[in-house]
């Protein structure tokens, strides 16, 4: 079955160009176009699209207002296609939190050759968005926050490493908001995002969490109650020196920078069985191999279950590889993290399947 798309953009030029790009794939048909959010709300019921592409800056009703309206009435997959994806990273992050599945950075310059460079990415992300179930988009994530003072002073030092991609900003926002200020291990995150987004993304996480969240820098120490977000364009790893866990940044020409696999492998080598690896929603397979390395090193591994994943790609590959101890819906992951670490603090052995962790 083909994918029907509604294109929403206030520029007639962009509406036509996006239509041509999408219909270059025989599996996609643009069934309609809309000039702004109000126009789109009227046309969605008529055209019944599988996916909407959405500009953010529009007259009468902008993209964020449209998202808030449609997600409350008739949730469906939305891919943001906007120059504000660079100029206003804050707005794009808000769009993802409101329920947009993914985003494309629309070149600011008008020359068609620059704009056509986004064609493959646009087609790929629209096709991926078409597979997202409405119930995943509309889900309300709730969990009882983990109580503070849940840990004792006997907990040995360790590292929690988290990887995510498509759907990750919303998942990370929820996950970090559920963790207590006295969380006893440092946390490091590799999230696939453009470099223009990292500062805004980190600041939003910091404002919503009781933990201190900041962008990772060379030789920064992973401390309890602190979260570091890997910078875009660099590989981010962890090394152990003199009993301390330190961040190490490295230039790379790899496809993913930061790579979740790279982060997980480095953490497994540095903290071995004092490691918890968490792989959240995302397209592709980045992180699955690294999660297996963490498990083989004696650490605990957690993957997000398909019931809450926006894109069940990275976690699925990890499960198929036998790399996962716990596969859980997102609301259950904060409690699992705290439960695992609390058992470390009480010097209790843990048995997960055939593995005994001491």
Give residue-wise pLDDT tens across range 228-255: 999 998 999 999 998 899 999 998 887 8
Name the active-site residue from 39, 55, 164, 165: 165
159-357: CATH topology: Rossmann fold (3.40.50)
Query: Is the fold of 3-138 the same as that of 159-357?
Result: yes
Half-sphere exposure of 40 (CA within 13 A, CB side): 34
d(CA 329, CA 319) in angstroms, rounded, equals 14
279: pLDDT strictly greater than 50: yes
CB 267 within 8 A of CB 287: no
Strand 186-191 relative to strand 226-229, pairing: parallel
Arithmetic mean of pLDDT, 126-149: 77
Please tell me the predicted confidence (pLDDT) of residue 123: 96
Q: Cα–Cα distance between 137 and 55 in angstroms, integer?
A: 19
User: One of 82, 192, 209, 261 is an active-site residue; which one?
Assistant: 192
Q: 191: closest CA among 219, 170, 222, 207? A: 170
Catalytic residue among 9, 39, 102, 286: 286
In sequence order, what E strands does 23-75 have?
28-34, 51-54
Residue ranges per structural domain of the chain: 3-138, 159-357
- Per the annotation, the verdict on 192 as an active-site residue is yes
Residue 115, token pair as written in the block: 């704009």
pLDDT at residue number 357? 47
Which H or E element spans position 80? strand 78-82
Active-site residue flag, 165? yes
Mean pLDDT of the chain: 89
Distance, in Å, from the CA atom of 260 to the CA atom of 245, rounded to the nearest integer, reads: 18
Looking at the structure, give the CATH architecture of the domain made up of residues 3-138.
3-Layer(aba) Sandwich (3.40)
Look at 217 and 347; give whichever has higher pLDDT: 217
Q: pLDDT over 70 for what percent of the chain?
A: 88
Q: Which of 55, 53, 59 is nearest to 77 (CA)?
A: 53
Annotation marks residue 259 as catalytic: no
Q: And the tokens for 98?
A: 């409101």
């Amino acid at each position: 079955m083909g994918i029907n798309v509604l294109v929403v953009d206030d520029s007639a030029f962009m509406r036509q160009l996006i239509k041509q790009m999408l219909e270059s794939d025989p599996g996609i048909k643009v069934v309609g176009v809309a000039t702004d959010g109000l126009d789109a709300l009227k046309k969605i019921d008529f055209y019944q699209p599988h996916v909407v592409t959405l500009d953010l800056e529009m007259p009468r009703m902008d993209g964020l207002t449209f998202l808030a309206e449609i997600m409350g009435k008739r949730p469906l997959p939305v891919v943001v296609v906007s120059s504000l994806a660079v100029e206003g990273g804050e707005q794009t992050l808000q769009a993802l939190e409101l329920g947009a599945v993914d985003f494309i950075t629309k070149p600011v310059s008008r020359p068609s050759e620059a704009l056509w460079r986004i064609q493959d990415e646009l087609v790929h992300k629209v096709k991926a968005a078409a597979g997202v179930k409405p119930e995943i988009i509309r889900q309300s994530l709730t969990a009882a926050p983990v109580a503070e003072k849940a840990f004792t002073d006997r907990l040995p030092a360790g590292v929690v490493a988290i990887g995510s991609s498509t759907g990750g900003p919303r998942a990370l926002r929820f996950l970090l908001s559920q963790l207590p200020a006295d969380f006893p291990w440092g946390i490091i995150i590799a999230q696939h995002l453009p470099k223009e987004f990292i500062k805004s993304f980190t600041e939003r996480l910091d404002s919503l969490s009781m933990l201190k969240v900041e962008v990772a820098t060379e030789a920064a120490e992973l401390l309890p109650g602190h979260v570091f977000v890997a910078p875009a364009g660099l590989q981010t790893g962890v090394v152990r020196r003199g009993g301390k866990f330190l961040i190490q940044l490295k230039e790379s020409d790899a496809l993913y920078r930061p790579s979740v696999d790279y982060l997980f492998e480095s953490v497994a080598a540095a903290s071995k069985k004092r490691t918890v690896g968490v792989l959240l929603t995302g397209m592709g397979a980045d992180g699955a191999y690294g999660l297996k390395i963490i498990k083989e090193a004696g650490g605990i591994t957690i993957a997000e279950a398909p019931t809450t994943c926006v894109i069940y790609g990275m976690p699925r590959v990890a499960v198929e590889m036998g790399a996962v101890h716990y596969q859980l819906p997102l609301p259950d992951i904060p409690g699992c993290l705290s439960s695992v670490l609390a058992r470390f603090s009480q010097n209790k052995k843990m048995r997960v399947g055939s593995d005994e962790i001491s």
